[in-house]
């Protein structure tokens, strides 16, 4: 493979977070195929005080220090899973948090895992993990293969992109590393900006 279309993941986390907007996640669940479009992302890297990988490699964050294009799933607040796409070169410890997606195919299947309708199905990082049945079993999974694939689409028009501070963190709030689709109803409701 001379030109792998995952190559852009090896650039900065900030670049990858922008480029992942509009890309497709394809989830195989038994006989069903669920497809969603990425609507909102946040970048985290090893130089970033808000990142799990900041100056420390632990059993939990080990996947973040591995190859780009794999999935990093973490469990938080004793209740919820959140999923990230590992980016950057190996041993750097960077990832892009997927904060919101828009259903394309298989909405009925997602509703069997998450008993909600409309935007409440996938408008938050833990919500979309529940809808796509993503948990610790998929930690470290390569997004090149079933049962969860990342499909790269052309970059979105810059005029459709908004950015802001990241949600739910107390450190490094000055970094504008949250990116989302302008006027999309599935953008997470954590903060108005």
Partner DNA sequence: AGCGGGATTTTCT
Partner DNA sequence: GAAAATCCCGCTT
The residues of the shown chain that bind DNA, judged by CB under 7 A, are 42, 44, 50-53, 56, 58-61, 64, 72, 74-80, 82, 84, 95, 97, 116, 120, 124-127, 166-171, 188, 190
**Which residues share a beta bridge with 40?**
100, 180
Question: 112-134: string of b/e by CB count within 10 Å (b at 16+)?
Answer: eebeeeebebbbbbbbbbbbbbb
> Which of 6/72 has CB closer to DNA?
72
Q: Are 190 and 166 a contacting pair, CB within 8 Å?
A: no
**In the complex, minimum distance from the CB of residue 187 to DNA, in angstroms, rounded to a whole number:** 11
Residue with tokens 């090893």: 46
**In the complex, minimum distance from the CB of residue 185 to DNA, in angstroms, rounded to a whole number:** 15
**In the complex, minimum distance from the CB of residue 161 to DNA, in angstroms, rounded to a whole number:** 20
> Which of 1/79 has CB closer to DNA?
79
Tokens of 184: 């999309």
**In the complex, minimum distance from the CB of residue 19 to DNA, in angstroms, rounded to a whole number:** 17
> Which of 33/167 has CB closer to DNA?
167
> Which of 5/176 has CB closer to DNA?
176
Hey, which bits of 78-144 come out as E strands?
Answer: 80-87, 94-105
**In the complex, minimum distance from the CB of residue 143 to DNA, in angstroms, rounded to a whole number:** 15
Q: Are 65 and 57 a contacting pair, CB within 8 Å?
A: yes
**In the complex, minimum distance from the CB of residue 139 to DNA, in angstroms, rounded to a whole number:** 10
> Which of 6/74 has CB closer to DNA?
74
Integer angstrom CA distances of residue 85 from 94, 100, 185: 9, 13, 23
Integer angstrom CA distances of residue 149 from 69, 138, 161: 10, 12, 24
> Which of 2/117 has CB closer to DNA?
117
């Amino acid at each position: 493979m001379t030109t792998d279309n995952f190559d852009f993941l090896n650039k900065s986390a900030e670049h990858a977070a922008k480029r992942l907007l509009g890309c497709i996640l394809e989830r195989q669940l038994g006989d069903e195929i669920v497809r969603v479009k990425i609507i909102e992302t946040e970048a985290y890297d090893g130089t970033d005080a808000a990142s799990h990988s900041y100056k420390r490699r632990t059993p939990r964050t080990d996947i973040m220090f591995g190859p780009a294009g794999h999935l990093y799933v973490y469990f938080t607040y004793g209740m919820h899973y959140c999923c990230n796409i590992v980016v950057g070169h190996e041993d750097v410890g960077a990832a892009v948090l997927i904060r919101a997606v828009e259903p394309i195919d298989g909405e009925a299947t997602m509703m069997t895992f998450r008993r909600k309708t409309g935007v409440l199905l996938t408008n938050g990082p833990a919500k979309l993990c529940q809808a796509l049945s993503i948990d610790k079993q998929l930690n470290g999974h390569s997004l090149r293969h079933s049962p969860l694939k990342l499909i790269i689409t052309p970059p979105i028009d810059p005029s459709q992109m908004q950015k802001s501070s990241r949600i739910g963190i107390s450190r490094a709030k000055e970094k504008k590393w949250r990116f989302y689709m302008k006027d999309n109803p599935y953008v997470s409701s954590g903060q108005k900006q």
